[in-house]
Structure 1
């Protein structure tokens, strides 16, 4: 099931405790552009299909990543792309967006997405894996 744009943004705004939907939208665009660079193939397409079209397009046409970023470097990269962000606020932004993405994707797809990412992303998605 695809989330409507308004619903997706409302969830991100609520989880990120953003004052405006513009702040939530900015976080979602940056995080999804970075995430898209780390996912390939069927999982990226399937995840995009569960997002509102505007965000799906960002995920499918990502920034190019030279190498997979560790979870910590992913947060740092997010901070670099969001004006005025710090590592702490970027971690909050990433968690707000990716937890909504995880809810939209469902457990089975989320497991396959996490297999493509370096260790530690489970926490960013709010889905800690037991060791």
Structure 2
């Protein structure tokens, strides 16, 4: 089963409230996860591969906010049609029959965010192929 290590400070930022490691270790199993390891500033959990949203900090934080009935339902994002065109070579049609893209603006990106994206990609590759 896939695992994710949640750093306390970063997870608290996504969650919207400062959580202690003990609080994280107490509440995360209510999402159906198993606690693998608890450290001084992190909790490592194992999650079911059918919960693809759990391969990211924001997915787990959102699920926990929903469990606590703080924020439920789907998020609303402002989306508009742009003028950027994505051209996909026909040679990849058999292995990737669908391609999706987006342009996201006004997003602060730091090293940890890039590392999270890379971990999400690895988890998706492991779970979906």
Same fold, TM-score > 0.5, yes or no: no
Which structure has more relative contact order (CA 8 Å, sep 6+)? It is 1
Bigger radius of gyration: 2
TM-score normalised to the size of structure 2?
0.30
TM-score normalised to the size of structure 1?
0.29
Q: Going by fraction, where is helix more abundant, 1 or 2?
A: 1
Q: Going by fraction, where is strand more abundant, 1 or 2?
A: 2
